[in-house]
A and B are shown apart, each in its own frame.
Chain A
Amino acid sequence: GDSVTQMEGPVTLSEEAFLTINCTYTATGYPSLFWYVQYPGEGLQLLLKATKADDKGSNKGFEATYRKETTSFHLEKGSVQVSDSAVYFCARWNNDMRFGAGTRLTVKP
């Protein structure tokens, strides 16, 4: 059935490093795609979204492009900060919301 697969963590980076977290999906039709972020002890917050092919979602320096040909929505940031340490969830909406398994990112000073 439909699913979301994202890169397994944990991911540990130094401050100012480049970040990529891979996400691929399977779905019928044209799902909407999301990245959510969960900071320690908090609920999930929407980070960015894209609703059709070739759309680029962006927020707080993070970007992800909806690639229908590769069914991917990889999250990138050019220069991570310690405050970006969190768990990141890729998700797709196609009649219901399905989340990936989450990727824990730790950024060290």
Chain B
Amino acid sequence: GAVVSQHPSRVICKSGTSVKIECRSLDFQATTMFWYRQFPKQSLMLMATSNEGSKATYEQGVEKDKFLINHASLTLSTLTVTSAHPEDSSFYICSARVRGYSPLHFGNGTRLTVT
């Protein structure tokens, strides 16, 4: 079945540094990938929609200059958290769908801790 791989699974960084998270579709091409964030005991919140070859679409309240998204190929999207702060500590999850209206497949997520 469709598999979405996300790396790293866990990262700890110091405040002010940048962190890059990769999301790969392993056995299918994904023109669109979605980035979600989950805070403890909260639902998954859509941050942005990543479109291959074009700019990402950000949800209201998500700073595009802080959360840089690059979707350079049909199998890779990256999320870079720039100048990370402790409040950015969260669980970041990417997802993609094989085609059209099929269910989203999720990566295993990245636990980011900013100290």
**A and B associate in one complex:** no
Interface residues of A (CB under 8 A from B): none
Interface residues of B (CB under 8 A from A): none
